[in-house]
Amino acid sequence: MTTTENQANPIGFGRMLRKEDARFLRGKGNYVDDLNLPGMLHGAVLRSPYAHARIKSIDISAAQAHPKVKAVITGEILETLNLAWIPSLSHDVVAVLATDKVRFQGQEVAFVVAEDRYSARDALELIEVDYEVLPPVVDAKKALDKDAPVIRDDIAGKVDNFIFDWESGDKAATDEVFANAAIVVNQDMLYPRVHPAPMETCGAVAYMDPIDQKLTIYSTTQAPHAHRTLYALVAGLPEHKLRVVSPDIGGGFGNKVGIYPGYVLAIVGSILTKRPVKWMEDRSENLMSTSFARDYHMKGSIAASADGKILGLRVDVLADHGAFNNTAQPTKFPAGFFHVFTGSYDLMAAHCSVRGVYTNKAPGGVAYACSFRVTEAVYLVERMVDRLAQELKMDPAELRMKNLLRPEQFPYTSPTGWEYDSGEYPRALRLAMDIAGYEELRKEQAQKRAKGELMGIGISFFTETVGAGPKRHMDILGLGMADGCEVRVHPTGKAVVRLSVQSQGQGHETTFAQIVSEVTGIPPEDIDVVHGDTDNTPFGLGTYGSRSTPVSGAAAAIAARRVVDKARIVASAMLECAPEDLEWEKGRFNIKGDKSVGKTMAEIALGAHGTVELPEGVEGHLNAECVYDPPNLTYPFGAYICVVDVDPATAKVSVRRFIAVDDCGPRINPMIVEGQVHGGLADGVGMALMEVIAFDEDGNNLGASFMDYLIPTSLECPSWETGATVTPSPHHPLGLKGVGESATVGSPPAVVNAVIDALAPYGVKHADMPLTPAQVWQAMQGAPYRT
């Protein structure tokens, strides 16, 4: 791994080893499955073997007779508690346990609670379910056929599999641009169904204390406060009788945003047995039943002038949402942020339409390491730009340079209404090309082609849109997307920072301490970060869509500034001078013009808790809080270049080099940012080359284990070459933009563009991900595209 930093800009507050690694590297993390409460029982879920079937009857008597079984729960029992269905994140409903029908393979049908995990699993086999198998809808394109079986006949009056129709942009203006353009290129493409596949699967331990009637749920959630409110609304329990604790989380990537039936079942199991109940899914359950990502069938068109000025873009999307519409996204945007699909280019007009359909597949459609469908949008535009370059016979880097937004155009309003906050796009692309030695690579490619060797160079330029809210535009089920932070400074000058966001491995315990340290001067080692416990942290919507730094990071900076403002008043009382006579030198206030007379933060903290008389109306202590409703999203961006070699005999793709220049504004901790980028690049290589959840025509899931659902290892990844430019966000208090998901968003099109570039001698224009040897081989044989 090599890193090139743009020395003109200070890029970070400082590299600092991660505080949390002291426990993670020693195997001392505390995950949900590490919890063992006294008297704890274990739950297991019986799942449907069919994609679509009517439930005629369920016989649980043999399971109930198992000596170690304490409870067997069916949908019928949940109906009596009004818990058979719960609200989805997208104003639909989700079955906790199937009552009438099963609608995807792996759907939850019954729940057994037993003395131990093995007995619970054994007893599942004693449950007899009589199914009447129904024809499944597997192909999204056939879901709207007139004779397609209706999946959601639980919805009154439903006669088809249609979910929503949504559009954005100016259709008439786009049509006009296309009618007058010198060149129009069309391309169908599929962003296949993939899975976030976190290392830790989903699980919960629920305990309803029978004495004080307080329900505690330890669960793998990225959004503990939102979960608590939803539990309160569904169960009718007051929030102070509900505590959600999210201990260490072994990766989320969007997979742990929603509430899964297993969490609810652990709760019901505890209420019925009056004992703590643990439910922890296995790998296959995670891959089969929890939120998938993508599954977007896209028809793109790009219009340009003969000399390569991009004029317009349009796309028609068919979105496969599975059996229940449970995608996690702001209410206002049924297709997430897909309409940011004009990407990083200066266009005249754009229009997109998205139709959502039900199919007999697992529900979800989460933002897997992306901000609400931005990944699909970036893939679409970056493939379309490369297709245009192909048709124009123009270098794809030159075409991008010609069309990238220029710095003076910011703040820039896109044709679909997004206001990009800041950017210096050409500088980032140039830096990536310099690190890559782009011109040399093209020469090398020409030489190899002459020898029949297949080398490809792929570029992608992406703009991300991260940090949801503002809450006037964005909510999930009516909860506005704002986040909180509380800073409390102890009398000795050490501090505790409480956050509403939830780390799943991103290193918040380190970076949020660094943010507060940067503002207050208290060393980061002296700042403890608390998160993941609704009883001990302020309310907020949690961590996904790289929103922690843009939202809670801003709240932390503002709360820390409030501490410093207060410290000035306390210091002035201690030094018997006016507050304006003091000047701030990181970590202390000095008398203006005399650095020898002053007070450090530690002294001021003691003063604030001591006997110093403060001016009237000023309360003691040095505590502050902030609820931050961001004025806009932040728009990190990046330029990626991928170099691949394709074996002409086996069609195997090897990623030889990958250059990633990211701009997320100043970096709190450049080491952590690089780690985030490395992980995201590996994600992208995986999606581009090997990951897919496929189904057979009966709706059987063909990707339900890591033998079938391939994820990349270090063997498939090159030594990443990273670089940085720094364009601060004008509205974030510290100029910070999010970065957690940038690389996952930006890298797949770079890999695909590189492979298609390598296959140019075969006249290949497009092939869908994953570009497995079989898929590449077919493309080389001129096989029709599979979308």
Enumerate residues 6+ apart whose C-beta is below 8 A from 640: 432, 459, 460, 461, 462, 658, 659, 660, 661, 743, 746, 747, 750
Q: Does 549 bind ligand CDP (CB under 6 A)?
A: yes
Q: Does 198 bind ligand CDP (CB under 6 A)?
A: no
Q: Does 511 bind ligand CDP (CB under 6 A)?
A: yes
Q: Does 575 bind ligand CDP (CB under 6 A)?
A: no
Q: Which span sits near ligand CDP by CB under 6 A: 331-339, 609-617, 667-675, 681-689?
A: 667-675
Q: Which span sits near ligand CDP by CB under 6 A: 162-170, 733-741, 758-766, 775-783?
A: 733-741
Question: Of 98, 311, 739, 767, which lies in the binding site for ligand CDP, with binding defined by CB under 6 A?
Answer: 739
| 23 closest CA partner among 367, 510, 468, 500 | 510
Closest approach of ligand CDP to the CB of residue 6, in Å: 14
Q: Which span sits near ligand CDP by CB under 6 A: 355-363, 500-508, 600-608, 645-653?
A: 500-508
Structure tokens at 572: 């002035």
| Residues 93, 96, 100, 102, CA torsion sign | positive
Closest approach of ligand CDP to the CB of residue 323, in Å: 28
Q: Which span sits near ligand CDP by CB under 6 A: 63-71, 270-278, 502-510, 638-646?
A: 502-510
Query: Mapping DSSP to helix (H, G, I), strand (E, B) and coil, where does residue 745 land?
Result: helix
Binding mask 153-192 for ligand CDP (x = CB under 6 A): ----------------------------------------
Q: Does 736 bind ligand CDP (CB under 6 A)?
A: yes
Q: Does 560 bind ligand CDP (CB under 6 A)?
A: no
The torsion region of residue 452 among left (phi > 0), alpha (psi -120 to 50) and beta comes to left
Exposure string of 188-225, with b = 16+ CB inside 10 Å and e = fewer, is ebbbbbbbbbbebbbbbbbbbeeeeebbbbbbbbbbbb
Q: Does 548 bind ligand CDP (CB under 6 A)?
A: yes
Q: How many whole angstroms from its chain centre is CA 590? A: 44
**What are the beta bridge partners of residue 158?**
none
Nearer to ligand CDP among residue 517 and residue 676 (C-beta): 676
The amino acid occupying position 181 is A
Closest approach of ligand CDP to the CB of residue 192, in Å: 24
Q: Does 422 bind ligand CDP (CB under 6 A)?
A: no
Query: Mapping DSSP to helix (H, G, I), strand (E, B) and coil, where does residue 429 land?
Result: helix
Q: Does 749 bind ligand CDP (CB under 6 A)?
A: no
Nearer to ligand CDP among residue 187 and residue 722 (C-beta): 722
Nearer to ligand CDP among residue 564 and residue 743 (C-beta): 743
The C-alpha atoms of residue 515 and residue 560 are separated, in whole angstroms, by 8
Strands in 418-508 per DSSP E: 419-420, 454-463, 475-476, 479-480, 483-489, 495-499
> CA 446 → CA 340, 341, 437, 543, distances in Å?
35, 32, 15, 46
Dihedral through CA 364, CA 367, CA 368, CA 374, nearest 10?
140
Question: Of 98, 668, 682, 687, which lies in the binding site for ligand CDP, with binding defined by CB under 6 A?
Answer: 668
Nearer to ligand CDP among residue 268 and residue 557 (C-beta): 557
Dihedral through CA 342, CA 346, CA 350, CA 355, nearest 10?
0
| 201 closest CA partner among 111, 96, 282 | 282
Question: Of 336, 728, 738, 748, which lies in the binding site for ligand CDP, with binding defined by CB under 6 A?
Answer: 738
Q: Which span sits near ligand CDP by CB under 6 A: 287-295, 350-358, 547-555, 776-784?
A: 547-555
> Are 546 and 741 in contact, with CB atoms under 8 Å apart?
yes
Nearer to ligand CDP among residue 119 and residue 546 (C-beta): 546
Question: Of 520, 543, 572, 753, which lies in the binding site for ligand CDP, with binding defined by CB under 6 A?
Answer: 543
The amino acid occupying position 532 is G
Q: Does 18 bind ligand CDP (CB under 6 A)?
A: no
The C-alpha atoms of residue 151 and residue 142 are separated, in whole angstroms, by 13
Nearer to ligand CDP among residue 320 and residue 518 (C-beta): 518
Enumerate residues 6+ apart whose C-beta is below 8 A from 471: 480, 481, 482, 629
Question: Of 314, 339, 667, 678, which lies in the binding site for ligand CDP, with binding defined by CB under 6 A?
Answer: 667
Q: Does 506 bind ligand CDP (CB under 6 A)?
A: yes
**Total number of residues binding ligand CDP (CB under 6 A)?**
22
Nearer to ligand CDP among residue 359 and residue 546 (C-beta): 546
Nearer to ligand CDP among residue 300 and residue 505 (C-beta): 505
Q: Which span sits near ligand CDP by CB under 6 A: 143-151, 194-202, 480-488, 734-742?
A: 734-742
Nearer to ligand CDP among residue 45 and residue 466 (C-beta): 466
Characterize the bridge pairing of strands 495-499 and 527-530. parallel
Closest approach of ligand CDP to the CB of residue 226, in Å: 14
Only one residue has tokens 């006949």, namely 153
Q: Which span sits near ligand CDP by CB under 6 A: 56-64, 261-269, 299-307, 659-667?
A: 659-667
Subset of 671-690 contacting ligand CDP (CB under 6 A): 672-673, 676
Closest approach of ligand CDP to the CB of residue 656, in Å: 28
Nearer to ligand CDP among residue 641 and residue 672 (C-beta): 672
Nearer to ligand CDP among residue 521 and residue 740 (C-beta): 740
Closest approach of ligand CDP to the CB of residue 639, in Å: 17
The C-alpha atoms of residue 159 and residue 680 are separated, in whole angstroms, by 41
Q: Report the length, in residues, of the chain.
A: 787
Q: Does 508 bind ligand CDP (CB under 6 A)?
A: yes
Q: Does 623 bind ligand CDP (CB under 6 A)?
A: no
Q: Does 722 bind ligand CDP (CB under 6 A)?
A: no
The amino acid occupying position 279 is W
Closest approach of ligand CDP to the CB of residue 469, in Å: 14
Residue 431, H or E segment: helix 425-436
Exposure string of 419-454, with b = 16+ CB inside 10 Å and e = fewer, is ebbbbbbbbbbbbbbebbebeebeeebeeeeeeebb
Q: Which span sits near ligand CDP by CB under 6 A: 150-158, 408-416, 488-496, 664-672?
A: 664-672
> Could you count the other beta carbons within 10 Å of the beta carbon of residue 172?
9
Closest approach of ligand CDP to the CB of residue 374, in Å: 13
Nearer to ligand CDP among residue 459 and residue 626 (C-beta): 626
Query: Mapping DSSP to helix (H, G, I), strand (E, B) and coil, where does residue 379 land?
Result: helix
Nearer to ligand CDP among residue 19 and residue 297 (C-beta): 19
The C-alpha atoms of residue 235 and residue 245 are separated, in whole angstroms, by 18
Nearer to ligand CDP among residue 548 and residue 632 (C-beta): 548
The amino acid occupying position 326 is N
Question: Of 88, 107, 229, 669, which lies in the binding site for ligand CDP, with binding defined by CB under 6 A?
Answer: 669
Closest approach of ligand CDP to the CB of residue 668, in Å: 3
Nearer to ligand CDP among residue 415 and residue 484 (C-beta): 484
Q: Does 744 bind ligand CDP (CB under 6 A)?
A: no
Question: Of 354, 664, 693, 758, which lies in the binding site for ligand CDP, with binding defined by CB under 6 A?
Answer: 664
| 253 closest CA partner among 205, 217, 203, 200 | 200
- Kindly tell me the burial class for residue 296, based on how many C-beta atoms sit within 10 Å of its own C-beta (0-12, 13-18, 19 or more): buried
> CA 154 → CA 98, 101, 341, 403, 530, distances in Å?
11, 9, 34, 49, 43
Q: Which span sits near ligand CDP by CB under 6 A: 258-266, 296-304, 719-727, 736-744?
A: 736-744
Structure tokens at 615: 């001016």
Q: Which residues of the chain form contacts with ligand CDP (CB under 6 A)?
A: 506-508, 511, 543, 546-549, 664-665, 667-669, 672-673, 676, 736-740
